Amino acid sequence: NDRPNILLIMTDQQRGDALGIEGHPVLQTPNLDVLASSGVRFGRAYSTCPVCIPARRSLMTGQTPATHGMVGYQADAEWHPPATLPGVLRDAGYETAIVGRCMHTYPFRKRFGFDHMTISGGPNDDYRHWLDQRAPEGANGPRGAGIHVSSWVARPWHMDEHLHYTNWTIKQALRFFQTRDPSCPFFLVVSLIAPHPPFNPPAFYFDRYLRQPVHEPVIGDWAEPPPDGGKGVSIESHHVNLTGEALRSCRAGYYGLINHLDDMISLLFKGTAGGCDHRSLANTVVAFTSDHGEMLGDHYMFRKQRAFEGSARIPLLLRAFPEVKLDIEPGHVADQPVCLEDIMPTLLDIAGVDTPSSVEGRSLVPLLRGGGAQPKWRSYLHGECIPFEHYLTDGKEKYIWNPSDGRELLFDLATDPTELHDLSGDEPRIAPWRKRLIDELRDRPEGFTDGHQLIAGRPRSPLLPHA
């Protein structure tokens, strides 16, 4: 078949800077680094609603949160998208499959265009069924060590490494390569739960990062610590002050999960006794991304949903194996603002499949080479997430507005990539950004603006009325 295969690898809650090739001081991701150096890395990729369900809806449909209607976390919400990435590829003759973490679609087993689903994260969980047949007595499942799924508390995985969720996911991907239909191209989503909490990597990886120097959080001159230094704060809190052993173990768990998944991903590329070999990825395009990031203690914050770089910026890599006729400059780093909505039109473009009119994202194919005249691109991205901030960024600056209290922040990402210094007092500089957000929110049902100013304190819901 002259159409390329497509492999989309997606992690959960991985920061954009959580790659060795980004210059991370301790984290090792050698396989993802090779993927980046042999393909293209998008250094300003963002999640426009940095929490799991709306982010994945944007990836699946190429639509902004305001269009598909989910602008915050809302579980068990029915969804009837006009077109999905797997659905369009299936209709074009692709065999479509997902293994690992579900896409948080509802109902849980609704396929949305996937021919095959071996998934976890809902009722009748394939991983839990597999694990229950193999786990030692008393293990009490993947959360049997008592660590909460939204907590900064960390400890090593409490069972044999081969039973870890990441290992199972990669095993299911290898099985797909063995059993797929060779007469048509494939679209496979390998969806990993790591590095989403619980922070429980296998002991080897946890110990590796406990031995490393503590990578301290960045704290902006605008950031406010939690009351009483964070003592007694819930382990699920967004507002934390991680220090000492709590910080060390939290980061060891997070980095350990990423290092572990990086090692496991190598099995997809380098061949294993399980049956995957280089021929499995012949004529294949590989994309790698995450749904959102993790604040990890930066600016006294933990978890996701925030407009700041740790939460909103994500990794995005694209590589084509030699048989694919795609003009990529290996090692190129694109600095245009891109987002999850761009993945669907990009992969459809590469597959030679028409993009549905419902898609709002843009194909990234024109950005795959550096040098020379660059294509005209979007001026900025708009992101939001109930109950927190709206943001705008062009990749060089970022404007943030909190619709609860009206607070504004402005950062120069070119000189201050970790958002240490708030420039919102510079009115000539912030005023154009404020006007852009007013224009962006002009027709929103919440009443965020009267067309002249932003209005804080308006009632909000994770689901817009049309959703």
Residue 329: φ, ψ to 5°: -95, 105
**CA-closest candidate to residue 109, choices 121, 95, 94, 92:** 121
In angstroms, the Cα distances linking 443 to 214, 325, 437 are 46, 42, 11
Residues 329/317, Cβ–Cβ less than 8 Å: no
408-412 and 397-401 beta bridge pairing: antiparallel
CA distance 283 to 434: 46
Edge-first strand listing for the sheet containing 338-339: 313-314, 45-46, 338-339
Give the torsion sign (CA, 62, 303, 218, 29). Answer: negative
Residue 23 to residues 26, 27, 46, 193, 395, Cα–Cα distance (Å): 9, 9, 19, 24, 18
Distance CA 73, CA 407 (A): 22
Pairwise CA distance, residues 410 & 221, whole Å: 12
Task: Please identify every residue annotated as catalytic.
Answer: 52, 104
Cβ atoms of 105 and 119 within 8 Å: the answer is: no
Rounded Cα distance, 127 and 101, in Å: 9
Q: What 3 state SS string does 10-43 have?
A: EECCCCCCCCHHHCCCCCCCHHHHHHHHCCEEEC
Residue 281 has which token pair? 């990825």
DSSP summary character for residue 70: B
Tell me the two tokens of residue 327.
Answer: 């003009």
Task: Measure CA of the first residue to CA of the last residue in the chain; give whole Å.
Answer: 39
Distance CA 227, CA 241 (A): 10
Do 91 and 114 touch, CB atoms closer than 8 A? no
